[in-house]
Amino acid sequence: MPITPVIFPELIRALIAAIDANADAVTELDQAIGDGDHVFNLQRGLQALQQHADDIATLDWPAAWQKIGMTVMSAVGGASGSLYATLFIGLAKSSQGKSLDLRGFSEALLLAVEAVKQRGKADVGEKTMLDVLVPAAQALQAEAAANSALPTILARLRQVAAEGAEATRNMVATKGRASFLGERSKGHVDAGAKTAQLMISAIADVLDFVVA
């Protein structure tokens, strides 16, 4: 069955629950090599989205993603706010006038992630959220091209996101405050990658339930 923005309130509740449940652990990661405010900023953005959730649920996906992006841009501080705003505004632009079946969405997502790379001047291997977003977007495109069943796709996304987050542990950070630590940034999972993984898993859990 088509997945429409009517599920957005449920998605936001799941994202808030996932971040809140892991807030202390992720903040420890962020305090080790970052500013320590990543979780606070993300929670503020999610709460803002929850306030608009019912309105967003009435839109089509391109309009919904545009609204999400603009809300995130105004509510979330730090680099993550700018990058997630870019992701959703990019989704809105890349999906205009296109079929949003699974294959169409995967293509739009890849373009949106590319916009994030350009905005952050970063790529895979630099200890950022892109170490989760890029492989997840690529995995989604591959599974969509293979016409995989949605439960298979969601399981693959959970796996790829978890592997991407864990891979940041042994990377040397080259972006943000963590980059000042050089080799000392090794040994810590990147907080932004970890929250990206948590949110992808939370979305997958909701979709698993919706299509069951």
**At residue 8, what are phi and psi to the nearest 5 degrees?**
-60, -45
What's residue 118's pLDDT? 96
Fold annotation for 5-211: 1.25.40
Confidence of residue 152 (pLDDT cuts 50, 70, 90): very high
Closest to 21 (Cα-Cα) out of 11, 13, 33: 13
Nearest to 131 by CA among 192, 62, 76, 63: 192
Q: Which of 192, 210, 212 is nearest to 200 (CA)?
A: 192
Residue 185 has pLDDT above 80, yes or no: no
Stretch among 31-35, 73-77, 159-163, 176-180 having the lowest mean pLDDT: 176-180
Q: Are 156 and 139 in contact (CB under 8 A)?
A: yes
Q: What is the pLDDT of residues 157-183, one digit of tens each?
A: 999 999 999 999 999 877 666 665 667
Domain ranges for the chain, please list them.
Answer: 5-211
The radius of gyration of the chain's CA atoms, rounded to the nearest angstrom, is 16
Helix/strand/coil (H, E, C) string of the chain? Answer: CCCCHHHHHHHHHHHHHHHHHCHHHHHHHHHHHCCCCHHHHHHHHHHHHHHCHHHHCCCCHHHHHHHHHHHHHHHCCHHHHHHHHHHHHHHHHHHCCCCCCHHHHHHHHHHHHHHHHHHHCCCCCCCCCHHHHHHHHHHHHHHHHCCCCHHHHHHHHHHHHHHHHHHHHHCCCCCCHHHHHHHHHCCCCCHHHHHHHHHHHHHHHHHHHHHC
Percent of the chain with pLDDT over 90: 79
Q: What is the pTM of this model?
A: 0.94
Compute the residue count for the chain.
212
